[in-house]
Amino acid sequence: MVTNRDLVILISNSGETKEALAPIKPIHRIGAEIIAMTKDSRSNLAQEADYLLEVPVVGEADQFDLAPTKSSTAVLATGDALALTLSELKGFNERNFAMFHPGGALGQRLLKEGLLKG
């Protein structure tokens, strides 16, 4: 459920994808803000969003220049950069990581390092 305290990320390489444009008005009606991730700062998505993360990609890697290969990789890297930046700004540290991710290999490593009690 989206609330007026949320920030929604909408992703579209062209910025004109129907699925990315359709939720804009309902999201704004709720009072939430939108980050657009797109390669085209002049697109409808970019223009309607509150914030723009421009992800410039020239062409795709397949022989037809159609399959989202370079663009999907660029969006993933941009999303990772955004997440890491926000983590740092909020002071998220290893102890927080251990508390929220106690299972799996990373959680087990942090347990062994004494950052989380098992």
88 domain residue, yes or no? yes
78 domain residue, yes or no? yes
d(CA 27, CA 34): 8
Nearest residue to 23 (alpha-carbon basis) of 41, 36, 42:
36
d(CA 32, CA 108): 37
Longest CA–CA span in the chain (Å) reads: 53
Total-model pTM: 0.84
What CATH code is carried by the domain that includes residue 85?
A: 3.40.50.10490
d(CA 45, CA 41): 8
Tell me the per-residue pLDDT of 18-42, one tens digit each, with 9 for 90 and over.
999 999 999 999 999 999 999 999 9
CA distances from 97 to 23, 54, 61, 87, 88 (A): 32, 29, 35, 10, 12
Tell me the per-residue pLDDT of 45-101, one tens digit each, with 9 for 90 and over.
999 999 999 999 999 999 999 999 999 999 999 999 999 999 999 999 888 887 887
81 domain residue, yes or no? yes
2 domain residue, yes or no? no
118 domain residue, yes or no? no
The residue range of the domain holding 49 is 7-112
Specify the number of domains making up the chain: 1
117 domain residue, yes or no? no
